[in-house]
Amino acid sequence: MELHDYLRVLRRRWLWIALVLALCVGGAVAATNMATPIYRATAQLFISTSAQNSVSDLAQGSSFTFRQVTTYADMVTAPVVLEPVILTLGLDEEPEQLAARISTAVPKDTVLINVSVTGADGEREAAIANAVAEQFTRTVSDLEQPDARGVSPVKASLIRPAKAPSTPVAPNPSRNLALGLSLGVMLGVAAAVLREVLDTRITGTTDVQRVADRPVLGAITFDRGAALNPLMVHDGDYSPRAEAFRSVRTNLQFIDAADQPRALLFTSSLPGEGKSTTAANLALTLAASGAPVCVVEADLRRPKLLEYMGLDSSAGLTSVLIGQVSLDDVLQPYGEHLMALGAGPIPPNPSELLGSPAMRAVMEDLRKRFEYVVVDAPPLLPVTDAAVLSKVVDGTIVVVGSGIVRRHQLSQSLATLKSVEAKVLGILLNRVPAAASQTYGYYHHEYGPEPTAETRRQARRERALLRREARWWARPRPAEEPVGDRR
């Protein structure tokens, strides 16, 4: 990933970062509030040697003191020092337990020893620190070899008694908050990047380009009203959704100028990606330009096209393929330049019918009558119907539902088409959130304003809705499953 990829991840996954950051900061605040305050009382000792008679003796004594001061600091927590303190103060602790709460420090280039005691009671810790310091002075005098007069050459003096601290040393709210913020940012960014790496859903052109070398023909905006009113493209409609279909119509004219495809197959990887509504609306858009268009409902397992258009579906393509009726008998007008050919009765063998010579003859007849033939085919992964139909059309367009299909599923669909040597004209993104579709560059500024904070929030809500919906109804079904009777 490059820098701009990380920035894109941070923009898309900012909610993850905010959530982890809030958890870390909240945890730091909770830990600070729940922690028992710890106080530290410190007493200071001065180590010296007895007076010497000469400068040489004085230098030797000073050198001896510097060498020994570290040893003396370690002696502070020895049982010989702590046991008398425990008895004197009546502490309910073992010497090892008390030693764990005592720390010593020797300032650099000094003969001073700082004796610190930590605990939950500031006054008690100050009393312990002073008692330990005083006992240490007596212990040093006893342990050092006295001279002939019985005077120890080394002397430890308490020069700064401990005082009861007024503020605790732990917890430290500022430090804990800083740690929570730092940890939250690092873990949040890591979680966002990991989520992006593990999320294989296709949401935009970048995801498509990772698995497909075919052009992206356009991005159709997601509209919740499409479920109730699937055919939303009509004359005078200048909504982003309608403009997106007009953009796709224009792009189709430049795919192969020398041999412009006229019979177009629309399919998808999974059910629920919107290939039927996409095919119907694009057929309406092509017909709006004045060209004669025929839309064919070739999904013989879950036909929906004529239901969307409100036309009679009692007879149709299957009736023609088995010779019951002629093509003219089942073609139904829809508007001024559009004719519709429904699926007809659901057959037990859809793949065989669609791959029969009769289907090839029907397509040849439709090519002669219409300038464009738009074919709505079943999804590629559950069944093989679309792969069979791709051999009798001029080109195939794969509809990709944003937030529904995953990269490996699209790759598998394209591999299926490649195995039958189908001509894939391009990828058509569908159900793209409004703000995201503008960022893909399919809308010029004249079609709508730049994305605002509100449109971006709306786009995020739409993505979440799409993900919830896709959890159950966008799953591929086995090819042998009898799905023809589902409506």
Residues 43 and 158: beta-carbon distance below 8 Å: yes
- Of 160, 186, 210, the last residue of a domain is 160
Assigned domain for 61 exists: yes
Q: How far is 25 from 412, CA to CA, in rounded Å?
A: 44
On whether residue 393 sits in a domain, the answer given is: yes
Same domain, 190 and 210: no
For residue 301, being part of any structural domain is answered with yes
Residue range 462-466: mean pLDDT, rounded = 53
Question: Is the domain of 281 the same as that of 376?
Answer: yes
Per-residue model confidence (pLDDT) at position 52: 52
75 and 221 in a common domain: no
In a shared domain, residues 343 and 465: yes
Within this chain, do residues 29 and 177 fall inside the same structural domain, yes or no? yes
Asked if the structure places residue 166 within a domain, the reply is: no
Residues 63 and 18 in one domain: no
Mean pLDDT, range 319-346, rounded to an integer = 92
Helix (DSSP H) and strand (DSSP E) numbers for the chain: 19, 12
At 174, the amino acid letter reads S
Give residue 182's domain range: 3-35+172-197
- At 135, which CATH number? 3.30.70.1130
Count of structural domains, the chain: 3
Q: Is residue 395 part of a domain?
A: yes
Residues 335 and 421 in one domain: yes
| More confident of the two residues 419 and 253 | 419
Q: Are 395 and 366 in contact (CB under 8 A)?
A: no
User: Torsion angle of alpha carbons 253, 259, 264, 269, nearest 10°?
Assistant: -90
- 479 falls within a domain: no
pLDDT of the residue at 232: 65
Return the axis-axis angle of helices 240-253 and 275-288, rounded to nearest 10°.
Answer: 70
Mean pLDDT lowest for which of 52-61, 63-72, 139-148, 208-217?
Answer: 52-61
Same domain, 178 and 283: no
Is 294:331 a contact under the CB 8 Å cutoff?
yes
| Cα(386)–Cα(266) distance, integer angstroms | 8
Mean per-residue pLDDT for 265-294?
92
Reported pTM = 0.62
Give the span between the Cα atoms of 367 and 311, in whole angstroms: 22
- Which secondary structure element, helix H or strand E, spans residue 323, and what is its range? none
Q: Note whether 409 and 295 are same-domain residues.
A: yes
Number of CB atoms found within 10 A of residue 197's CB: 10
Give the three-class secondary structure for 270. Answer: coil
Give the pair of three-digit tokens for residue 19.
Answer: 């959530």
Per residue in 379-397, pLDDT tens?
A: 999 999 999 999 999 999 9
237 CB-near residues (< 8 Å, 6+ apart): none
Query: How confident is residue 298, by pLDDT bands cut at 50, 70 and 90?
Result: very high
Is 92's pLDDT higher than 80? Answer: yes
Say how far apart CA 337 and CA 286 lie, in whole Å: 9
Mean per-residue pLDDT over the chain, rounded:
83
Task: Answer yes or no: is pLDDT of 55 > 80.
Answer: no
Distance CA 279, CA 376 (A): 6
Q: Worst-scoring range by mean pLDDT, 149-158, 271-280, 461-470?
A: 461-470
The arithmetic mean of pLDDT across residues 7-23, rounded, is 87
- Burial track 286-320 (b if 16+ CB lie within 10 A, e otherwise): bbbeeeebbbbbbbbbbbbbbebbebebebbbbbb
125/234: higher pLDDT: 125
Flag whether pLDDT at 25 surpasses 90: yes
Question: Partners of 376 in the beta sheet?
Answer: 266, 297
Residue 59 in this model has a pLDDT that exceeds 60? no
CATH assignment at residue 357: 3.40.50.300
